[in-house]
Each structure stands twice: as C-alpha cells, then as structure tokens.
C-alpha cells in the first residue's frame, strides 16, 4: 500500500528551519477555517509513513536499537530521498529516540509525527500476553496511561517533533486480534460498541495526560475510516486532530463534510492511496495507481 498522509488545513507553506529549537505547533481557528501553524507560520503536512526494515527481516526488527553509525547511515540515505520528494513530515511509531527526531529535522528539515499504537496489536499485562486489548480493564488503563505519560516526558523538549498520535485504526481491532481489516464488523450495538466507548474514553484521558506535560504540540488519534465517528465526538472531545486510514478508491466521498459537521476537528489522512500491484491482472500497474493517487490528492487540496 502507498501510505501517504496529509493534514487538510487552509494554507500550504514551506518548512521553516528553526535549528536547535523546540517549535510551538498549534491549531488556529478563524472564520476561514482551521490552520496548523509552526511558530506562527501556516504549515500543511506532506508526509510519509516511514520505517526501516532490511530485506529478509520482518515486523520484529528493531531499527532503533542498532548502533548509532548504522542508524545514521540509513537515515541519511532514506531522508535525502524523502527530502527530494518534498516530504516535510514522517509518521514514526514509538521506539525512536529523541536525538534521532532532532537529527532528522536539523539535517533534512523533516518533522516527526510520533505515533503510539495504544494497544492496537495487543499488550503484555503482568507478564501475560493479551492479543485483543480490553480498554475498560483497570490494569490495561493504568498501563496505557503510564506509557503515554512516559512518552510525553521523554519527548517534551524535542526539536523536530510535530505532534503526537494515538492508535492505528484501533476501532477495527475491537472485534478480533491481529491487523486484519477485511469484512470489518460494524457492531452498531452491543459488545463492540461498548468496547468502542471504553476505548475512546481512555484515548481522551491519554490525550489530556499528554497535554498536561506537553503544551505546545497537538495530539491526534488515528481511526479506521469514519467507523464510530459519533462515539469519537461523544467520548474524545479533547483531541486536536482526527486522523483516519481511509481507502475508498478514487474519491473520499463524504469524508470531509462528515468530519466537519459531526466532529468539527481538522481531518488528517494518516493513510490513503492505492497499491501499485493490480490483483486482477496479477502484475504491477503504476498507471492505475497514479490515477487513484492524483485524484485523492486533488480532493485533499480542493478541501484544504
């Protein structure tokens, strides 16, 4: 999947290099709409989901535990490519150290959106692996809130940090363990919706914990499409940005209007796009991928 993401705000601006400085990032609202600003200058995210996994390794590979020389060499190769693409932000899961966030920013002008998965793929609680996180469980709540507090304290004065984000389409994980997203059960009532309420309430608590420690960075949550949007509005009122992984084909259809009218928060596409592989023809199809991507980007800019 081509996992581009962008924050849809009013204005587009260049990255302002403020080396060695912890930038103030905030949302500014006026009659024209909502704008993300960095030290008072309007800023529109043009970003990539980024990780580093060598050929032959898998999801368990820990890039950030490698020797500094290896990390630096890999970052120099990768970030120069992203810089040439005019990427100004990368989305990175927790595990990265603050010094590398600053290194990427000071050398390549690329900000980091720091993402805590917030139990999306299971948790180890008291030495026991729980594949499907139960957000109403008191031990789980304490564990996750302590995790985000530690994260906020670790990164609170880090130059190059753009914002925090919690989760990765965790609403899809309320029905089963793992990362599958096929045949998503809607769960309009009953157990799934009850679990969703507990999850969004805990996310809101975590947002407030982060804000109590870091006052100059926005906090987003990442939801799968618009599933349970009404529960986000009800139980997570303190989020700054609504991020969504959304794969709807050539158009996002009613997403912009629904988020505006039902939630009233800025909309960020944390994932969108199309695969370069055509599963019908069983071959690479870059032209069709470009067709979807160009139309997605067009809609984003028309709604910015």
Give residue 108's pLDDT.
98
With 80 as the cut, is the pLDDT of residue 1 above it? no
Q: What's the average model confidence in pLDDT over 90-97?
A: 96
Per DSSP bridges, beta strands 219-224 and 89-93 are: unpaired
Q: What's the average model confidence in pLDDT over 57-61?
A: 92
Lookup: tokens for 77: 């190769």
| Residues constituting the chain | 304
Q: What are phi and psi of 260, to 5 degrees?
A: -60, -45
- Per-residue pLDDT reduced to its tens digit, 161-194: 999 999 999 999 998 655 555 555 555 557 899 9
Q: What's the average model confidence in pLDDT over 271-277?
A: 94
Other C-beta atoms lying within 10 Å of the C-beta of residue 188: 8
Q: What's the average model confidence in pLDDT over 43-71?
A: 95
Contacts of 242 (CB under 8 A, 6+ apart): 220, 221, 223, 232, 259, 263, 265, 266, 267, 268
**Signed CA dihedral, 51, 52, 54, 57: sign only:** negative
Give residue 179's pLDDT.
55
Residue 273 sits in a domain whose CATH number is: 3.20.20.80
Give residue 18's pLDDT.
43
Give residue 177's pLDDT.
57
- How far CA 26 is from CA of 6, 36, 163, 255, 292, in Å, comes to 16, 6, 9, 23, 31
Q: What's the average model confidence in pLDDT over 84-108?
A: 97
Beta strands in the chain, from DSSP E residues, in sequence order: 4-8, 25-30, 33-38, 41-42, 46-49, 89-93, 111-116, 123-125, 128-130, 161-166, 219-224, 241-245, 267-271, 277-278, 283-284
pLDDT more than 90, % of the chain = 85
Give residue 163's pLDDT.
98
At 174, is the secondary structure helix, strand, or coil?
helix
What residues make up the domain containing 287? 4-302
Q: What are phi and psi of 281, to 5 degrees?
A: -80, -15
Total domains present in the chain: 1
Lookup: tokens for 178: 């793992």
- Per-residue pLDDT reduced to its tens digit, 127-143: 999 999 999 999 999 99
């Amino acid at each position: 999947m081509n996992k581009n993401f962008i924050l849809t705000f009013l204005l587009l601006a260049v990255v302002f290099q403020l080396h060695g400085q912890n930038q103030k990032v905030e949302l500014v609202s006026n009659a024209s709409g909502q704008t993300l600003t960095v030290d008072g200058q309007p800023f529109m995210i043009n970003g990539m989901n980024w990780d580093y996994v060598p050929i032959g390794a898998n999801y368990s590979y820990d890039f950030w535990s490698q020797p500094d020389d290896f990390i630096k060499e890999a970052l120099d190769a990768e970030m120069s490519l992203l810089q040439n693409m005019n990427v100004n932000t990368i989305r990175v899961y927790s595990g990265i150290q603050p010094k590398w966030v600053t290194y990427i920013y000071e050398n390549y002008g690329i900000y980091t959106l720091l993402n805590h998965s917030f139990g999306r793929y299971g948790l180890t609680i008291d030495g026991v692996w729980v594949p499907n996180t139960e957000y109403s469980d008191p031990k789980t709540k304490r564990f996750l809130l302590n995790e985000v507090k530690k994260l906020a304290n670790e990164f609170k004065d880090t130059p190059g940090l753009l914002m925090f984000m919690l989760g990765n389409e965790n609403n899809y994980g309320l029905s089963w363990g793992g990362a599958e997203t096929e045949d998503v059960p809607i769960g309009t009532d009953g157990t799934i919706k009850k679990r969703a309420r507990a999850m969004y309430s805990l996310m809101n608590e975590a947002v407030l914990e982060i804000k109590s420690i870091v006052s100059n960075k926005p906090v987003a949550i990442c939801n799968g499409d618009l599933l349970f949007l009404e529960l986000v509005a009800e139980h997570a009122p303190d989020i700054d940005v609504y991020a969504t992984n959304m794969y709807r084909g050539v158009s996002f259809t009613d997403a912009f209007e629904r988020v505006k009218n039902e939630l009233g928060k800025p909309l960020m596409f944390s994932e969108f796009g199309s695969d370069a592989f055509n599963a019908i023809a069983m071959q690479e199809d870059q032209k069709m991928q470009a067709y979807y991507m160009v139309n997605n980007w067009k809609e984003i800019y028309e709604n910015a």
